[in-house]
């Protein structure tokens, strides 16, 4: 296996653009790539542009009639069919929507193929992670579910165990739905509690279809306001033990940056330092349990200047085995780019000054009156026994 990492990038992914009033501003992708280049990380990885996912690949997850509906809306947005989730407030139709969505999906599928075939050890597609799209509908700013497509392609290539870990603030509902009945895929999602956030799913009791799929879905529903120590405590109380038991051949992770305390669409209080800590943990878990095979995706994140580019640049650096130190000053050239593109002032340092982030490990015991510990306990009690593990 090559020790090199891949960074999937094609400038055309910024064509995934729902319009000037939509929170998913594609400038977040351009600024991330600009920051990656400012640190010279594009020299520490192989930057690759893959082809768009074709119809046969899209149909690994998505229904044929849905793909046809996306194409129709893409050719003429006036023909968007809201029955397929298209032309809605969350997912407005735009010209070229199919092409841009298929291009993002193609990057994630190619990343999975390269990692599976040993052409690269790690691969990053920060334009991906569009985890809400369903087999027959767009949802939550997501048209094609590139994460599910990457996993489905791994299964098609012969993988017998693929683990998916999603740390976006929103539940990874589309990926869970795609593999609800498939024991070859373990989906783990840590997200804000469905009582307080879209898509109102991801309860601890959602554990997979009865029968072979039972225990294949694991959900940690975090209380609104959860900060660094609680977020890391929950991650380490659930994810490492499950991966050690499952022994995935490939680890696919989704790193939505919308857990951050500055994100305008959610209610967690996580810092860039904690996001970086989880990225490092995922990297270590891939080496510990999946032979180093790691596909890392982006996801949500709507503080498009202050948070997203820094978070995903850390992800690229970690995957490249060239991590950017938390205290690093942001290059002035990139801040100039930020101002030129957005007329905003960019951040001055690479994290929020909280490194290293401390948390209390689950093995030290728990407090049954603590809301965060209650959330972890609910997950462990619902899912762990189904996998033969102690709650």
SS3 content of the chain, % helix, strand, coil (to 5): 40, 15, 45
Q: What is the CA radius of gyration of the chain?
A: 19
Q: Give the H/E segment covering residue 274.
A: helix 272-289
* Non-local CB neighbours of 101 within 8 Å, separated by 6+ positions: 16, 70, 130, 143, 144
Q: Which of 195, 307, 296, 305 is nearest to 258 (CA)?
A: 307
Q: Distance (Å, rounded) from C-alpha 36 to C-alpha 381?
A: 41
Q: Give the H/E segment covering residue 188.
A: strand 185-192
Q: Distance (Å, rounded) from C-alpha 104 to C-alpha 68?
A: 18
Q: Judge whether 160 and 144 are in contact, CB under 8 Å.
A: no
User: Sheet holding 185-192: strands in order across?
Assistant: 46-48, 5-8, 122-125, 294-297, 250-254, 162-166, 185-192, 217-222
Q: Judge whether 163 and 243 are in contact, CB under 8 Å.
A: yes
- Options 122, 132, 171, 283, the catalytic residue: 132
Residue 132 annotated as catalytic: yes
* Non-local CB neighbours of 254 within 8 Å, separated by 6+ positions: 129, 131, 147, 164, 165, 166, 167, 168, 172, 175, 297, 298, 299
Q: Judge whether 272 and 311 are in contact, CB under 8 Å.
A: yes
Q: Distance (Å, rounded) from C-alpha 81 to C-alpha 84?
A: 6
Which residues are bridge partners to 218 per DSSP? 188
Q: Which of 146, 98, 108, 121 is nearest to 8 (CA)?
A: 108
Q: Which of 267, 366, 377, 295 is nearest to 8 (CA)?
A: 295
Catalytic residues: 132
């Amino acid at each position: 296996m090559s020790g090199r990492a891949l960074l999937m990038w094609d400038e055309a992914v910024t064509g995934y653009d729902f319009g000037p009033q939509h929170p998913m501003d594609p400038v977040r992708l351009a600024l991330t790539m600009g920051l990656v280049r400012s640190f010279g990380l594009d020299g520490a990885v192989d930057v690759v542009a893959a082809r768009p996912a074709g119809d046969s690949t899209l149909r690994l997850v998505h229904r044929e009639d849905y793909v046809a509906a996306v194409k129709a809306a893409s050719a003429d947005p006036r023909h968007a069919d809201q029955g397929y989730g298209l032309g809605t407030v969350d997912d407005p139709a735009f010209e070229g929507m199919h092409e841009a969505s298929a291009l993002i999906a193609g990057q994630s599928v190619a990343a999975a193929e390269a990692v599976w075939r040993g052409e690269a050890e790690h691969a990053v597609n920060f334009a991906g992670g569009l985890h809400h799209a369903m087999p027959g509908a767009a949802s939550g700013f997501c048209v094609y579910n590139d994460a599910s497509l990457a996993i489905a392609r791994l299964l098609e290539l012969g993988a017998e165990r693929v683990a998916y870990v999603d740390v976006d603030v929103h539940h990874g509902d589309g990926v869970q739905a795609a593999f609800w009945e498939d024991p070859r895929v373990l989906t783990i999602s840590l997200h804000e509690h469905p009582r307080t956030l879209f898509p109102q799913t991801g309860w601890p009791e959602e554990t997979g279809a009865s029968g072979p799929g039972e225990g294949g879905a694991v959900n940690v529903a975090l209380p609104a306001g959860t900060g660094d120590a609680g977020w890391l405590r929950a991650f380490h109380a659930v994810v490492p033990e499950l991966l050690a038991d499952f022994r995935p051949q490939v680890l696919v992770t989704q790193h939505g940056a919308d857990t951050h305390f500055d994100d305008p669409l959610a209610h967690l209080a996580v810092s860039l330092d904690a996001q970086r800590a989880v990225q490092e943990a995922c990297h270590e878990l891939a080496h510990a349990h999946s032979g180093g095979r790691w596909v890392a995706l982006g996801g949500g994140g709507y503080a498009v200047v202050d948070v997203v580019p820094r978070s995903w640049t850390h992800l690229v650096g970690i995957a490249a085995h060239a991590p950017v130190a938390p205290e690093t000053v942001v290059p002035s050239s990139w801040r100039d780019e930020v101002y030129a593109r957005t007329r905003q002032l960019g951040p001055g340092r690479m994290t929020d000054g909280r490194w290293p982030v401390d948390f209390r490990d689950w093995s030290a015991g728990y407090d049954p009156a603590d809301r965060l510990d209650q959330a972890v306990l609910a997950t462990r009690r619902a899912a762990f026994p189904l996998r033969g593990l102690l709650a």
